[in-house]
Structure 1
Amino acid sequence: MTKSVLILSTSREKLPVGNGDKKLGALWLEELAAPYFVLTEAGFDVTVASVKGGKIPVDPNSLSEGFKTPDCEKFLGNEKTKKLIEESIALKDLDKTFDAVFLPGGHGACYDLNTDPNVIALLEKQWAAGGVIGAVCHGPAGLIKPQQHSGDPIVKGKKVTGFSNSEEAAVGMTDEVPFLLEDALKEQGGIFSAGPDWGPYAVADGNLITGQNPASSSEVAKLIVKALST
């Protein structure tokens, strides 16, 4: 039977910062596009959804010179794949289970993937069923609140990674995000590690697979493929 994977994106476009000013949140496109191609090329059935459904906001910085990757070009250059983010399924409208759930990042993930009760419920159900959960960059923000049956966070005692404190400082967002992801994962009992800033780095601990930054997107997807193929 064909394995199924849900890619669940943020729907949050703006972040509240400063005195009512707004900064970009949104999805970092590479973190959805690269895994999508790795997973579909492995023969998996991939569904793209977002917290609210409809058009997924994409951080324009992820489409700027120096950041727009060949996978982003390929994704936006094909009407079928482009439609997946222009008309995404709302999480509340999903009526099936998945072998794996994957959370791409973008700063918007720090808000809705971290707080939406439907996201939390989905991940708790996925974990309880023994399904695979993957996340990259700011996507692991969605892993902070879900709990195991014991009441412990699902990341407690698990090797994890995500956007590091030093990377957050490098992009000038340390004082503008609601929490530093590295610190938050550690506070929930996660065994956090990171590679060099901006380099590919991914960690698998059982059914929990995480990646550090956009460059880690394909690596996380490959580990998901491995987990679902064994």
Structure 2
Amino acid sequence: MTKGKVLVVGSNATRIEVQGNRWGATGQYLNETVVPAMALEAAGYEVVLATPNGEKPTIDAASDAPAHFENDAAAYRAGRDYFDASAAMNSPRTLRSVIDDGLDGFAGVFVPGGQAPVVDLMQDAEVGEILRHFHEAEKPTALLCHGPIALTAAMPDPRAFRAALIAGDDAKASEWAKDWTYRDYRMTIFSASEEKVVEEHILHAKMYFDMPQALTAAGGRVETTPVDFEPHVVVDRELITGQNPRSDHPLAKAFVEALDARLG
């Protein structure tokens, strides 16, 4: 017996648009995926992974290192083994199949980061359908690092919103976001200054928009730390967001606490 099922919404993106009509490699971050998932299982929850096309997410090579596990080689190995071999991470479903089978049986939903969600999840209609269900049911909804960008999928036309951001038209993006589910929620996400580190050292190119810019244009009340890469979690109603990779453990703790509290 488990306390309940938790849906983990993964990305299938493996590359991301960057300025200059080029693409950079991307994926999900290993620690941001496995640390919360492992914490959920340790707390007695069943993890169900689903992605847009039903295939397992790709791990961003930049995250596949002990450095993202506080330089703890044993923790990194445990996380890598969990992603490679656990039943939860190796039986992915399509988002559509999960929706069709019914979302009422899930206690909460979690979206990991890495830049991949910026490509597919933030403009995916099925992600929007899932998020609106958990919002309306007031079920814990957790997103980490770049993961909170997926919240924009819950607006009426997320594709138009994203296109406006890429075109550099924040005013038009805000128009598309006028009926956004999470308007006026407090939230956090990977900061603009943290993104510059990724642009300079990993992508070697600039992205079309940064994450706080996008969520602010959507109508969110975005809060980020003055010091880059310090752990930071924001909780507002059912929404739990973590700012960066080092927020993995604090977000997992807050998410499990919210799930347990809802169980009573």
2:127 aligned partner, one-letter code? V
1:122 corresponds, among 116, 130, 133, to: 130
Alignment of 1:162-177 (within 5 A): 162-172=189-199, 176-177=206-207
2:96 corresponds, among 92, 96, 108, to: 92
| Aligned-partner SS, 1:229 | helix
CA distance change for structure 1 residues 20 and 159 in 2, over 3 Å: closer, same or farther?
closer
Runs of 5+ consecutive residues of structure 1 not aligned to the other structure: none
| Aligned-partner SS, 1:204 | strand
2:124 aligned partner, one-letter code? D
2:126 aligned partner, one-letter code? N
CA distance in 1, matches of 2:5, 2:134: 13
CA distance change for structure 1 residues 88 and 27 in 2, over 3 Å: closer, same or farther?
same
| Alpha-carbon distance, 1:146 to partner | 1.0
Q: In terms of mean alpha carbon deviation, does 23-32 or 47-56 score higher?
A: 47-56
CA distance in 1, matches of 2:215, 2:95: 24
Structure of larger gyration radius: 2
Question: Which string of whole-angstrom CA distances, capped at 9 and with x for unpartnered residues, describes residues 90-119 of structure 1?
Answer: 212212421111100111110111011111
* Higher fraction of helix: 2
| Alpha-carbon distance, 1:22 to partner | 2.9
| Aligned-partner SS, 2:68 | coil
| Alpha-carbon distance, 1:36 to partner | 0.9
Conserved? CA contact 2:189–2:243, under 8 Å: yes
Q: In terms of mean alpha carbon deviation, does 102-111 or 42-51 score higher?
A: 42-51
Q: Tell me the equivalent position of 1:139.
A: 147
CA distance in 1, matches of 2:259, 2:94: 25
| Alpha-carbon distance, 1:86 to partner | 4.5
CA distance change for structure 1 residues 146 and 221 in 2, over 3 Å: closer, same or farther?
same
| Aligned-partner SS, 2:58 | coil
CA distance change for structure 1 residues 178 and 127 in 2, over 3 Å: closer, same or farther?
farther
Q: Normalization by structure 2: what TM-score?
A: 0.78
Alignment of 1:1-230 (within 5 A): 2-18=3-19, 21-64=22-65, 66-67=67-68, 70-78=74-82, 80-81=85-86, 84-94=88-98, 95-97=101-103, 98-147=106-155, 152-172=179-199, 176-195=206-225, 196-230=227-261
Q: Normalization by structure 1: what TM-score?
A: 0.89
Conserved? CA contact 1:33–1:72, under 8 Å: no
CA distance change for structure 1 residues 174 and 155 in 2, over 3 Å: closer, same or farther?
farther
1:226 aligned partner, one-letter code? E
| Aligned-partner SS, 2:154 | coil
| Alpha-carbon distance, 1:66 to partner | 2.5
Conserved? CA contact 1:24–1:107, under 8 Å: no
| Aligned-partner SS, 1:7 | strand
| Aligned-partner SS, 1:156 | coil
| Alpha-carbon distance, 1:190 to partner | 1.3
Conserved? CA contact 2:28–2:59, under 8 Å: yes
CA distance in 2, matches of 1:20, 1:131: 40
Q: In terms of mean alpha carbon deviation, does 203-212 or 90-99 score higher?
A: 90-99
